[in-house]
């Protein structure tokens, strides 16, 4: 029980530290927008590159490819959301 509480505490600390280390914390809003757009371009290129590569034969490689694609797609969806929110926020701040 003590060990479980200790590992839960460690997980909570890890999550907190991950949020603290997020790259968005280091950027002012206009810079965050620029960084997100560049990140979106990179993610799109990576996804396109995955689509161009011949599919590997090994089952493990296919699973890993599926993982990589899933995370990239999730990343792109998040970036699109955040870019829209930041643009709306900056626009309302100017009015």
Partner 1 sequence: MWQIICLCLPAVTHSERQRFFSLFSSALQASGNRPGEMDFGLFFLHSLSPEEALTVLEERLALVTRSQELLRLQPEKESVQDVLQAAIDDHMHTLLSAERAWLQRTIARLRLLSVTGNLLLT
**Which residues of this protein are in contact with partner 1, per CB under 8 A?**
8, 11-12, 15, 18-19, 21-26, 29, 32, 34-35, 38-39, 42, 49-50, 53, 56, 58-68, 70-71, 73-75, 77-78, 81-82, 85-86, 89
Least distance to partner 1 from the beta carbon of 2, Å?
17
CB burial of residue 40 (10 Å; 0-12, 13-18, 19+) = middle
Of residues 6 and 85, the one with the C-beta less far from partner 1? 85
Instruction: List, in order, residues 6 or more apart from 46 with CB less than 8 Å away.
Output: 72
- Helix boundaries (H) for the chain: 2-20, 29-52, 59-94
Of residues 6 and 19, the one with the C-beta less far from partner 1? 19
């Amino acid at each position: 029980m003590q060990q479980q509480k200790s590992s839960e505490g460690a997980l909570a600390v890890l999550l907190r530290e991950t949020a603290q280390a997020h790259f968005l914390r280091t950027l002012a809003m206009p810079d965050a927008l620029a960084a997100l757009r560049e990140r979106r371009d990179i993610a799109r290129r990576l996804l396109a590159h995955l689509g161009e590569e011949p599919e590997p034969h090994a089952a493990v490689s296919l699973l890993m490819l599926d993982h990589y694609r899933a995370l990239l797609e999730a990343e792109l969806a998040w970036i699109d959301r955040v870019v829209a929110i930041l643009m709306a926020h900056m626009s309302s701040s100017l009015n």
